[in-house]
Amino acid sequence: MSSPLGPRPRPEILTIAPYIGGESHLAGVNRVLKLSSNEGAFGAPPGAQAAYARLAREIFRYPDGAAEALRRAIGARFGLDPARIVCGNGSDDLIYQLALSYGGPGTELIMTRHGFSMYAIAGAYAGSRVVKVAEHHLTADVDAILAAVSPATRLVCLANPNNPTGSLLGAAEIARLRRGLPADVLLVLDAAYAEYVTRADYEPGVTFVDAGDNVVMTRTFSKIFGLGGLRLGWAYAPPGVIDVMNRVRNPFNTNAAAQEAAIAALNEPGWVEKSRAHNSAWRDRLGAMLTEAGIKIWPSEGNFILADFTTRERADGANAHLRASGILVRPMGGYDLPHCLRITIGTAAECEAVAASLTDFMRHG
């Protein structure tokens, strides 16, 4: 806490609740099953690990601040113009850049009630008023978002699929949202889980970015590409937004090891296909096992499921039971969903262990 005579931050800074990440350790347990941070089920791609090790000799050198080779590799992989890509120290870095560049005192940032918490942190840091809009069945509601737009609105941030709910808006709904927004409002489509989506009406954001000047799509290497520890995200954006981001980002915001490992991860044969197939199969299977145990499961398009225990007490009890089994999942009190737990889809054995523990909890309390 700051003393009354000492340096003081802007007052809105002290309204920010620090981001709480997923736990990694349990006292007294050697091997925890960490299903609390939506990291990919298969660890880091072998090629990425080798690239990271190879780079060890070169870490005295500054990285390429423009991440040229990586942007070319992303462009080639996704069929995008590398000049319209900016890389960041995780996509969180990109969200900060956008919130600080387009928001600020006197402006508003719109997100949804159970939207990804980084938007609220970045918006408050920028000095914007953060407006949380009601959802419908834990899904973003386009009409409610459009109704919340005011002359002060500068940003609308939407994770699609959303974390932690797993819900998704189809392409027609996103198109309707884009059409309804004033031209000077930036729509940030956070597609961190794009590779896991199986719904046919999904569009991560490229066509919406291409359709005008006010949509940005962000992506990450932290989820399906298995590089959360290296911190690497990227944005695909219109030229005007790219220009802004290149002015404000830290000149060396992505490090050399992350750049090399990410290029290797993009080129890992079959990695995305294998991970997606595993995720789809086990998302269904774990969902069915938990439903069988009497737990309500919200439909998810991500690499996690939101398990609904109806009351905070039951969710806390389930979490304590999982912890006693050495399993870490994510409590949802910070997302205004204290009656829920978010469970990452891990390996087959990890999913079986979660199902066994929660089935036991539901039977014996």
Ligand X SMILES: *Cc1c(COP(=O)(O)O)cnc(C)c1O
* Chain contacts with ligand X (rule: CB under 6 A): 38, 90-92, 116, 159, 163, 190, 192, 220, 222-223, 228, 233
- Please identify, using beta-carbon distances, which residue of 91 and 253 lies nearer to ligand X: 91
Contact status, residue 284 vs residue 151, Cβ threshold 8 Å:
no
Instruction: Closer to ligand X by CB, 160 or 357: give it.
Output: 160
Q: What's the min distance (Å) between Cβ of 27 and ligand X?
A: 26
Nearer Cβ to ligand X (190/301): 190
Residue 140's alpha-carbon distances to 119, 166, 218, 353, in angstroms, are: 15, 11, 18, 32
The residue among 237 and 289 lying less far from ligand X, judged by its C-beta, is 237
Residues 31 and 35: their CA atoms lie apart, in Å, by: 12
Token pair of 92, please? 């969180």
How many residues belong to the chain? Answer: 365
Q: Please, what is the minimum distance in Å from the beta carbon of residue 78 to ligand X? A: 16
CB-based closest residue to ligand X: 90
Nearer Cβ to ligand X, position 222 or 357?
A: 222
Q: How far is the CB of 7 from ligand X (least distance, A)?
A: 29
As measured in angstroms, the least distance from the Cβ of 6 to ligand X is: 31
Least distance to ligand X from the beta carbon of 93, Å? Answer: 7
Quote the CA–CA distance of 338 and 334 in Å, as a whole number. 8
Cβ distance 228 to 199 under 8 Å? no
Q: Which residue has the tokens 């890509």?
A: 85
CB of 91 to ligand X, least distance (A): 4
For tokens 């159970």, name the residue. 114
DSSP H helices in the chain = 46-54, 68-78, 91-102, 118-126, 142-148, 171-180, 206-210, 239-248, 256-266, 271-292, 312-324, 348-364
**Cβ contact 165:113 at 8 Å:** no
Which is nearer to ligand X, 89 or 357 (by Cβ)?
89
- Tell me how far, at minimum, the Cβ of 330 lies from ligand X, in Å: 11
Q: 38, 163 in Cβ contact below 8 A?
A: yes
User: Between 92 and 203, whose beta carbon lies closer to ligand X?
Assistant: 92
Write down the least CB distance from residue 187 to ligand X, Å: 15
Structure tokens given for 61: 């050198």
Q: Which residues contact 149 (CB under 8 A, 6 or more apart)?
A: 110, 156, 180, 181, 182, 185
Using the minimum distance from each CB to ligand X, give the nearer residue, 113 or 321: 113
Two structure tokens written together for 342: 């978010």
- Whichever of 36 and 220 has its CB closer to ligand X, that residue is 220
- The full 3-state SS of 331-361, as one line of letters, equals ECHHHCCCCEEEEECCCHHHHHHHHHHHHHH
Q: Residue 217 Cβ, how far from ligand X at the closest point, in Å? A: 12
- The total of other beta-carbon atoms located within 10 Å of residue 50's CB is 13
